[in-house]
């Protein structure tokens, strides 16, 4: 078995935060109780406008890439993960998931792509598919710090009530990356949400590194009378990753402060646990 040299990522991409990867969302019906979304608050028109703008922005960038410079780079990966954790919460009821990514990097700094994974929500028939498309732009400051701005949209087959857009800004400096996300309706709930994350990868040896993630989600939800409440949820991940030839192996511990306070579904599955992932890049 030969360890491959880990190549440093020079440009942060819009992958979903903390999917079991160093950076960067359900559940079996037997383990979940679905919360009924509250009636739409008065500012629904503004949220709808932001969603349409996000989708149009992604489509415009993707169309532009069709005629892009031949120097642009395509890449992707296929992964098998023992538990699909998105920002700390399991979107597969602690069951395995098959995932894939496709990325496009343009020499001008623009990038786009999509992430795919099987998911499972309460009170739905069988498994659904999540498709998270993203597009953005990165630039480098004289100090060497990289800036990042973009939009993404999560789409769920068969459960469109959970679809939602996000806009984000971020940075990358050495082994440290960070992002701040905003969405007008997190997982289809009637309330704004802001998610911030920091990710750190420390090489230990050739092809071996420690990965650390920390995130906080601040969300606002509305009850049936239109009153709002603010809620905060923390998540963390600590793991070790190995590059073996063209494969990447990662074993991590994932923790979540409170799954019931933020998400439109709750379950009796493990809130904290160990996650194993194997991926193949191309």
| pLDDT tens column, 75-92 | 999 999 999 999 998 888
Task: Mean pLDDT check: name the lowest of 34-43, 78-87, 265-274.
Answer: 34-43
Is residue 242 within 8 Å of 249, Cβ to Cβ?
yes
What separation in angstroms does the CA of 211 have from each of 19, 223, 236, 237, 251?
A: 13, 38, 11, 8, 10
> What is the reported pLDDT for 121?
73
Asked if 129 contacts 150 with a C-beta cutoff of 8 angstroms, the reply is no
Q: pLDDT averaged over the chain?
A: 78
> Which segment of 35-44, 219-228, 233-242 scores lowest on mean pLDDT?
35-44
**29-281 maps to which CATH number?**
2.40.160.40
What pLDDT is recorded for position 58? 55
Buried b (16+ CB within 10 A) or exposed e, 29-40: eebbebeebbee
**C-alpha to C-alpha distance for 278 and 246, rounded to whole angstroms:** 11
| Token pair listed for 47 | 């949220």
The residue that leads in pLDDT, 74 or 28, is 74
The sign of the CA dihedral 172, 196, 165, 78 is positive
In the predicted structure, residue 208 carries a pLDDT above the cut 80: yes
Confidence of residue 229 (pLDDT cuts 50, 70, 90): low
Residues near 262 by Cβ (< 8 Å), separated by ≥ 6? Answer: 186, 193, 217, 219, 231, 233
What predicted TM-score, i.e. pTM, was given to this entire model?
A: 0.76
Q: Is the pLDDT of residue 238 over 80?
A: yes
């Amino acid at each position: 078995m030969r360890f491959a040299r880990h190549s440093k990522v020079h440009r942060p991409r819009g992958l979903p935060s903390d999917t079991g990867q160093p950076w960067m969302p359900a559940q079996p019906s037997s383990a979940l109780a679905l919360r009924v979304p509250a009636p739409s608050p008065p500012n629904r028109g503004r949220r709808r406008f932001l969603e349409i703008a996000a989708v149009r922005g992604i489509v415009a960038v993707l169309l532009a890439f069709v005629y892009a410079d031949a120097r642009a780079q395509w890449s992707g990966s296929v992964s098998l993960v023992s538990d699909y954790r998105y920002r700390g919460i399991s979107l597969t009821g602690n069951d395995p998931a098959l995932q894939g990514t496709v990325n496009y990097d343009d020499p001008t700094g623009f990038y786009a792509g999509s992430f795919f994974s099987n998911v499972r929500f309460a009170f739905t028939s069988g498994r659904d598919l999540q498709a998270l498309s993203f597009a953005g732009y990165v630039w480098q400051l004289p100090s060497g710090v990289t800036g990042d701005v973009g939009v993404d949209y999560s789409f769920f087959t068969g459960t469109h009530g959970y679809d939602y857009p996000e806009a984000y800004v971020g940075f990358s400096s050495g082994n440290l990356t960070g992002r701040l996300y905003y969405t007008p309706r997190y997982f289809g709930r009637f309330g704004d949400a802001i998610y911030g994350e920091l990710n750190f990868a420390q090489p230990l040896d050739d092809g071996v590194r420690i990965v650390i993630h920390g995130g906080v989600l601040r969300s606002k939800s509305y009850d049936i009378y239109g009153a709002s409440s603010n809620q905060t949820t923390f998540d963390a991940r600590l793991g070790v990753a190995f590059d073996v030839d063209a494969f990447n192996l990662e074993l991590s511990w994932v923790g979540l402060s409170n799954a019931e306070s933020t998400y439109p579904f709750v379950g009796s599955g493990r809130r904290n646990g160990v996650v194993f992932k194997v991926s193949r890049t191309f």
